[in-house]
Amino acid sequence: MSSNDDVHKVREFEHPGEGRRRAKATPKGRQVDPTASHEIEQLLGDRPRRRDLLIEYLHLIQDKYHQISAAHLAALADEMKLAFAEVFETATFYAHFDVVKEGEPDIPPLTIRVCDSLTCAMMGAEKLLEELQDTAGPGIRVVRAPCVGFCDSAPVAEIGHRYVLNATTAEVLDTAARGETDPIIPAYVDYDAYVKEGGYKLLGDLRAGRISKEDILKTLDDSSLRGLGGAGFPTGRKWRAVLAEPGPRLMVVNADEGEPGTFKDRFYMLRDVHRLFEGMLIAAHVVDATDVYIYLRDEYPAALKLAPIEIAKLPPGGPTIHIRRGAGAYICGEESALLESIEGKRGLPRHKPPYPFQVGLFSRPTLINNLETLFWVRDIVEKGASWWTSHGRNGRHGLRSYSVSGRVREPGVKLAPAGITVRELIDEYCGGMADGHNFYAYLPGGASGGILPASMDDIPLDFGTLEKYGCFIGSAAIVILSQQDSVRSAALNLMRFFEDESCGQCTPCRVGTQKAALLMQRPVWNRALLEELSQAMRDASICGLGQAASNPLTSVIKYFPDEFKEAAE
């Protein structure tokens, strides 16, 4: 080595980087904007900076600024001592968070969402969407939205947090022009009215020991009350399973109904909320839950506004009650995905076992019940199991809240005997078919429950009666189609919904729904390929979304040969 080389090496050692590109003065990584940091600090105030509250804080940003900027995401991550990637992946997972990436234009201050799920599509949602996109002025964004839970008033548009039911273009634009964006709380049974009619007496008797936990559990067992969110697991058995696990225990109320065609939970929540709360507090007492988390669907802003008002009036004592707000993710109706969301994460279903009653929310044994299941607890215990089982038709027992929409004269929530047939439901509870419409087909269990022809109108609608036909009752969402509707188009609408709502965690569901939707758009369906794809989705998907997504598709192939043949010619 030459002497000059030696000198150069010495100088480089003494002055690192000399003669090479200097390091940037700005540190590596995403920097926090001081203004955004101050805004986030002010917005959060003295709220705890806990990881499980991340989604709640994203809602605070969305509500105030009508979007979530990259600067606010970085500031929130810094404030909560989280990696930016954690905050970003959570924010972008949920449909109701409008994340604006760096360099993208701001989102207009007002958003109009038009539901394009099946019933709204049947009632003219596509035309409404196109007209609003063509006529809405500056400062207004018009976008599609999956089912918003007002299928009995289709088509539906949401302006901010205000719904326009049976919407027309003129009415939507007039409402927007008036600046009416806040939710409307309908008339309901408040705390005083509920107590006046005997409300919370049963809870008081339970807490005072005048009625035992075992008395409650035996009544539920004798009534055969099953979970009314869709799975249908026996309620008493579920409570006993949780109680058998070592404490401390938690409880979750699943009020995140997102199945297209389902709106019964909204109906009960906004009319008789304390009947739900009493059932919830009875359940929490029976399983010794220290805390109760109510996971409310974000599409129900009136319920989100009502709940804290009435919770503040509840009898003292009992568990701590937390309200958690969903953010537009159908998958969070699945119980383990719901738990992940409450913990402030993406709603990705967990592998089972362990089951939530063993390792649930925050890794503690957790009781999870659907809103309507809890709604009936007081009546069943006070009136006796025989009162519940005295209802029913066609060899079935109990009551069911059927959410009926589509081509009937009087859609809505119909409290009817379990086991009623769709023909009986239409004729006795819905005023018959709408004028000019003949009964052609029906969905017996919402988007994932399959599609049956009108010729199969004598099947009892209940748990266990539809499975042999490739369908199921689920949450009892009944959508009625007429001769003016196409089941092929209906199945494609539903598959697009599942494609959009897949959490993306497992390949069979993420890719399967996408490929199925593409194949179903073709004028000629490849039956063998679609059936093979459907089977793969059923066999290999992690949760019920992917396992049931192909039910409408396979129903069309099996039960509607005329439409299928016509397409194949």
Looking up tokens 């009623």, which residue turns up?
420
pLDDT for position 10: 41
Query: Quick one: pLDDT band at residue 31, thresholds 50, 70, 90?
Result: confident
Length of the chain: 569
Nearest to 479 by CA among 431, 425, 435: 425
Looking up tokens 């234009």, which residue turns up?
105
Look at residue 529 and tell me whether its pLDDT is greater than 90. yes
pLDDT for position 564: 74
The 8 Å CB, 24+ separation contacts for 169-175 are 169/128, 169/131, 169/132, 169/135, 172/112, 172/128, 172/132, 173/132, 173/135, 173/136
Contact 250, 291 (CB under 8 A): yes
pLDDT average, residue stretch 235-245: 97
Query: Quick one: pLDDT band at residue 30, thresholds 50, 70, 90?
Result: confident
pLDDT average, residue stretch 509-532: 95
Percent of the chain surpassing pLDDT 90: 91
DSSP state, residue 349: P
Look at residue 13 and tell me whether its pLDDT is greater than 60. no
Question: Which token pair is 72?
Answer: 């606010």
pLDDT for position 25: 58
pLDDT for position 562: 85
Question: Which token pair is 569?
Answer: 């010619």
Query: pLDDT tens digits for 501-518?
Result: 999 999 999 999 999 999
pLDDT for position 18: 47
Distance CA 549, CA 113 (A): 24
Look at residue 168 and tell me whether its pLDDT is greater than 50. yes
Which residue would you say has higher pLDDT here, 27 or 18?
27
pLDDT for position 563: 84
Nearest to 442 by CA among 454, 434, 432, 431: 454
3-state secondary structure 130-196: HHHHHHCCCCEEEEEECCCCCHHHCCCEEECCEEECCCCHHHHHHHHHCCCCCCCCCCCCCHHHHHH
Distance CA 105, CA 249 (A): 46
Look at residue 406 and tell me whether its pLDDT is greater than 50. yes
pLDDT for position 235: 97
Average of per-residue pLDDT values in the chain: 94
Query: pLDDT tens digits for 99-153?
Result: 999 889 999 999 999 999 999 999 999 999 999 999 998 899 999 999 999 999 9
Query: pLDDT tens digits for 441-485?
Result: 999 999 999 999 999 999 999 999 999 999 999 999 999 999 999
Q: Picking from 24-28, 193-197, 321-325, which range would have the lowest pLDDT averaged per residue?
A: 24-28
pLDDT for position 20: 54
pLDDT average, residue stretch 73-77: 97
Percent of the chain surpassing pLDDT 70: 94
Burial class, 245, CB count within 10 angstroms (exposed 0-12 / middle 13-18 / buried 19+): middle
Q: Helix, strand, or coil here: 62?
A: helix
Distance CA 258, CA 328 (A): 9
pLDDT average, residue stretch 535-547: 95
pLDDT for position 52: 98
Distance CA 422, CA 434 (A): 15
Look at residue 6 and tell me whether its pLDDT is greater than 60. no
Look at residue 5 and tell me whether its pLDDT is greater than 90. no
